[in-house]
Amino acid sequence: MRTVTDCWIVPGRRSTLDGSGSGDQRGVALVETRFRILGPTQWKVGGRFDDHGMQPKPRGMLTVLLLNAGKWVPVDDLIDWMWSEDDPSPKQPRGTLHTYAKRIRGALQFMGRPPMLHSKGGAYRFDVDPELVDYHAFRALHHEARSAAARRDHRRTCELMKAAFELWQDRPLADLATARAHRWRRTVEEELWLPAHGLLFGAQLALGQYDEVLEGITDLPPERQDGLRLVELRLEAMHRLRRHDDAVEYFLRQHKRFRTELDQPAADELRRFHEGLTRGRVAASGDDLQWPAPRLLPHDIADLTGREVLLKELDAAALDGDGQPRAMILALEGTAGVGKTALAVHWAHRMADRFPDGMLYVDLSGFAKSPLVEPSEVVDRFLAALEFPAELVATAAGRANRLRRLLDGRRMLVLLDNAKNSEHVERLFPLFSTCLVVVTSRQRLATLSSRHGARGFAVDRLTHEQSQHWLTHRIGRGSTHDPTALGALTRLCGGLPLALNLVADRARSKPGLRLTQLVDSLKERSALLDMGDEGGGQDTRLRAVFETSYEALGVAEQRLFRLLGLHPGPDASLTAVSALTGSPARRTSLALERLFDAHLVEQSDSPDRYRMHNLIADYAAELVEDDAERLVATRRMVSFYVHTAHHADRAVFPQNDGVPVPPVSDGVEPLDFVDDESAMSWCMRERSIITAVALLAEELDLHEHAAALPLASGQILKRYGCYDDVLTGLAVAVRATRASGDVEMSAHVQANLGYCYLDLHEYDKAEENFHRAYETLVQIGRRDRADVVLYNMAELHIRRREHSTAVTLCQQALELARSNGDEAMEARVLHRLGEARRRQGRHDEALSYLNQALMLWGKIDHSAGAGLTLTELGCLYQDRGDAFGAMGYCHQAATVHQRNHDLVPQGQTYIVLAAVHRDTKDFDAAMSYAEQAVELCRRGKDRQQEAAALDVLARLRKDAGAPQEARELWERALELYRDLGNPLAAGVAADLNELGEPIVPEARDSAVRPLSPEEAGLSTGHFGPPQSLGDQHD
């Protein structure tokens, strides 16, 4: 093959080496460009193209950026384009490129509003409209000319191609002499330059411009005249000019050359072509052929509910501005049973009148029990459809060339249905270069886009509303009489049209069957998978459809697919799937990508998360027939979630003892967290899965895991107000600890349940659970371990303003803590006693208890607990009317919290400071502290304390005469309280309704009450003995 070097000849030019050729335009306006790279790189200033004295290397950089107009070009790519072994790159190429970029910007400034050259993150981008660059303009004209040829508008084809060749001044990318540039030129010559000539000469033949064809081919470099396509065009032109002797001589010479070069298929094809010419049956231009217009499409489906938008998108992609079909490739991808074929066939029927030359269809059996239909068989079927006797052409390559010539220049739609993958159909595309090709596949067809410019369309599942409409339409009016059953059927089908059709067919075939009965019959996992088995013929069951996709997978992917069916959540992270399989993350990632490409899994809301359609997951789970494999894989997955939750708990609450967990399973690498933010984010992201995994562990009698998972994750979830998840998890933990015989642990979990209800202000339920926990510990002779339960019961009575009872319970808890030698618990109880006495107005006793607590916190070096007690002392001094004393303690507390990075306790301290400064009429300082408190609580992800801070700030704004700002702040607080189910929402709502009236802070539970130790997560251990459920909000 000839290397593209210096000689680029275009029709109408004898030489273009000096860029002076003018060409014959005959009224065709040149495309208006501003940049040239088809030759030396130049740009237009004042109506004249020039390089304006720019040095070769900066010109080379500009060349690459113009070639990739509007796209980011990495520095490594620029280096590859600009330097070679003979011309090595500088020692610091990035700095050199930066200098060149400056020179480019300087040289372009005389253009008048020149395009911008950007740099970012090791890449450069030149923001220029591609149509202003001659190379891109050439491609656009060539594309338009192909469309014109498909419409048999030969004159327009000639005009467009002549205008395109007028842009081609010289050797492309002349300022680049690297290996990459040479490779690019060779590719462009083969795939663009020569086919463009063939398109022009074919159109000229159709217009009877035979001499121009011969002249144009002769103008090409000699080694470029010998391709089979150009040989056939020259041969036909000679025949049309009745130069039969010359034609015979030329045929014999070329036929001998092909045989000498051992290209026997080309020699045979040329012989057959020449024989056809002499019989008057064929023409390279395709203009004289009168072949039939086949219509091979399957029957249409009249109604495709839910596909209206996709049909419009297909129309927009396939049709040009004149409503004519483009010569291009459309790829429809989607999972099994999603309706790709039905959509493609329906759309093709809608487009039928736009393809007068016919429509070809083939089922490639890429996913079927029948053998794969190979490209050679497709060629034979399409030749038969065109009534061309394939037996006249001996070789497969010859028949492919014959089909290509038959279809060349014709407006046809080719539907390649059910392709196995991109490789399955790639060899066919050159045969359909002037046709609109539609490919459907269960496999992702990304290669078609990157290599062939295909436009891809994802055929997704239908929405719930679309699915319900689908069922209603197909079942009939009776379906609307029972909307509940109709909704249940819709959910069972999961938006899969094949499943919807099967369900609708069953409902229609049994008119006496009520929809509720149909729902009941499908509750078994396998029922819907097996629906549609009529015996004989094609198996249309969902199971059979999924099976063909499964069987197309490799061994590793099949194992992964099976095990994914065991995961209980809506989606799964890569790390969780790796634990499930016991394989390294890298290997698992590759297998997941293959399942993704096969549309058996979908990516969730981030690149490393995957989900399965519920029916596919049901099918996958059934494939795990080995009970041992099922149990081992499930145990690994449960272990991953338990230990990752444990690590999250330790990251957020390092001061606590932590929950006891069983040993990690072999092959499992739980996540570690660098900070509390990432730990909390993980828990929130996985919260529904955590609950599902806990229930699964309970079902499999993995009692230790079933108890540990909700205990390890609950503290974080409670901070975010996810009480439904926490309550469900704790109920599992209670059952699991009882089933394992750990009665004492079950009592402590019961107490944790009570504390959750306390947070929800459901005081009766809280009291019930506390009493059950206490009675259980007494019954088993472990009242000594009841200090936490008594302590939490005291908190309940403080909330009920029953301070005397609270004090009594605290004294009992204090006695137990001291007898157990638990100084941390003793400090917490003393803190609570101080709080209770303060609320009773017995300030001296409160001060004594709080000072004792402060001393104990110092003794055990627990600065976080000390910070909370300092804040409570600030509140005490505020109650005594000593504002300066209150400020002093609060400032000490704030310093401690800031040093410990305890955002929410610091925010709560600032709320108290805001109240103190409000009392002293220093409203500016009060406002500042309140604003900081809102931000700290927001950053600490404590929505309840954030709401309290917003409430305080709203009061201050209202008192400052800014009612609108107050309203906005209260609305935010109200939304948070309502989301959390907190009764304080009622008080905020009342303030909003009566914004113009004085607000009395005591009208509801004080929003500035400081945190107690357990509320800040400072228990000696949470969710376990002797732990209480600590958190940071009231």
Q: Which helix (H) or strand (E) holds 363?
A: strand 359-363
Q: Which pLDDT value is given to residue 535?
A: 55
Are 192 and 142 contacting, i.e. CB atoms less than 8 angstroms apart? yes
- CATH number assigned to the domain with residue range 862-1016, chosen from the 4 options 2.40.50.140, 1.20.120.790, 3.40.1350.10, 1.25.40.10: 1.25.40.10
Any alpha helices (H) in 901-962, and if so which ranges? Answer: 903-919, 923-939, 943-959
Q: Which pLDDT value is given to residue 539?
A: 66
Choose among 121, 112, 107: nearest CA to 61: 107
Q: Where are the domains of the chain?
A: 1-222, 226-278, 308-458, 464-542, 553-624, 631-806, 862-1016
Give residue-wise pLDDT tens across range 85-126.
788 888 888 888 888 888 888 888 877 778 888 888 889 999
- The residue that leads in pLDDT, 1028 or 340, is 340
- CATH number assigned to the domain with residue range 631-806, chosen from the 4 options 1.10.486.10, 3.40.50.300, 1.25.40.10, 1.10.40.30: 1.25.40.10
44-49: long-range contacts at Cβ-Cβ below 8 A with a sequence spacing of 24 or more? Answer: 44/111, 45/110, 45/111
Give the Cα separation of 135 and 65 in Å (integer): 12
Mean pLDDT of 52-60: 86
Highest mean pLDDT among 285-299, 441-455, 752-766, 834-848: 834-848
Choose among 750, 769, 763: nearest CA to 801: 763
Q: Which pLDDT value is given to residue 1026?
A: 37
pLDDT at 28 over 70: no
Choose among 108, 141, 178, 135: nearest CA to 37: 135
* DSSP summary character for residue 1021: S
Q: Which pLDDT value is given to residue 1015?
A: 43
Give the Cα separation of 1030 and 942 in Å (integer): 13
Q: Which pLDDT value is given to residue 1014?
A: 43
Mean pLDDT of 266-276: 81
Mean pLDDT of 273-296: 62
Q: Output phi, psi for 888, to 5 deg.
A: -60, -50
Q: Which of 48-52, 211-215, 326-330, 577-581 has the lowest mean pLDDT?
A: 48-52
Supply the pTM of this predicted model. Answer: 0.62
CB count, 10 Å around CB of 916?
26
Q: Which pLDDT value is given to residue 229?
A: 83
SS3 annotation, 431-484: HHCCCEEEEEECCCCHHHHHHHCCEEEECCCCCHHHHHHHHHHHHCHHHHHCHH
Q: Which pLDDT value is given to residue 747?
A: 92
The C-alpha R_g of the chain, in whole angstroms, comes to 39
Mean pLDDT of 402-417: 85
**Fold category of 1-222 in CATH:** Arc Repressor Mutant, subunit A (1.10.10)
Q: Which pLDDT value is given to residue 864?
A: 87
Q: Which amino acid is at 992?
A: L
Per-residue exposure over 713-727, b if at least 16 CB sit within 10 Å of its own CB, e if not? bbbbbbbbbbbebbb
- The residue that leads in pLDDT, 867 or 43, is 867
Q: Which of 258-267, 280-289, 363-372 has the lowest mean pLDDT?
A: 280-289
Give the Cα separation of 285 and 385 in Å (integer): 21
Identical topology for domains 308-458 and 862-1016: no
Choose among 418, 332, 434: nearest CA to 378: 418
Q: Is 169 helix (H, G, I), strand (E, B) or coil?
A: coil
Choose among 787, 778, 849, 865: nearest CA to 1028: 787
pLDDT at 203 over 50: yes
- CATH number assigned to the domain with residue range 553-624, chosen from the 4 options 3.40.50.1860, 1.10.10.10, 3.40.50.261, 3.40.50.720: 1.10.10.10
What are the structure tokens assigned to 185, written together?
A: 């030129």
Per-residue confidence band for 534, with pLDDT thresholds at 50, 70 and 90 = low
Q: Which pLDDT value is given to residue 801?
A: 87
Give the Cα separation of 444 and 751 in Å (integer): 52
Cα–Cα distance list, 445 to 371, 449, 509, 598, 928 (Å): 21, 7, 38, 10, 57
Q: Is 768 helix (H, G, I), strand (E, B) or coil?
A: helix
* % of residues, the chain, pLDDT over 70: 90
Give the Cα separation of 387 and 756 in Å (integer): 79
Give the Cα separation of 95 and 695 in Å (integer): 59
Any alpha helices (H) in 820-882, and if so which ranges? Answer: 823-840, 843-859, 863-879
Q: Which pLDDT value is given to residue 841?
A: 92
* DSSP summary character for residue 811: H
Helices 687-699 + 703-719 axis angle, to 10: 160
Q: Which pLDDT value is given to residue 477?
A: 63
pLDDT at 1020 over 60: no
Per-residue confidence band for 576, with pLDDT thresholds at 50, 70 and 90 = very high
Give ∠ CA 197-203-381 in degrees, rounded to 5.
95
Q: How many CA atoms lie within 13 A of 796 on its CB side?
A: 28
Give residue-wise pLDDT tens across range 657-708.
788 899 999 989 999 999 888 999 999 999 999 999 999 999 999 999 999 9
Are 128 and 66 contacting, i.e. CB atoms less than 8 angstroms apart? yes
Are 933 and 911 contacting, i.e. CB atoms less than 8 angstroms apart? yes
Mean pLDDT of 619-627: 86
CATH class as words, domain 308-458? alpha beta
pLDDT at 996 over 60: no
- The residue that leads in pLDDT, 1033 or 621, is 621
Give residue-wise pLDDT tens across range 966-975.
899 999 999 9
Mean pLDDT of 122-139: 89
DSSP string across 704-735: HHHHHHHHHHHHHHHHTT-HHHHHHHHHHHHH
Give the Cα separation of 550 and 536 in Å (integer): 22
Q: Output phi, psi for 194, to 5 deg.
A: -70, -45
Q: Which amino acid is at 425?
A: V
What are the structure tokens assigned to 367, written together?
A: 């996913």
DSSP string across 949-973: HHHHHHHHHHHTT-HHHHHHHHHHH
What is the residue whose two structure tokens read 């290996």? 179
pLDDT at 504 over 80: yes
pLDDT at 284 over 60: no
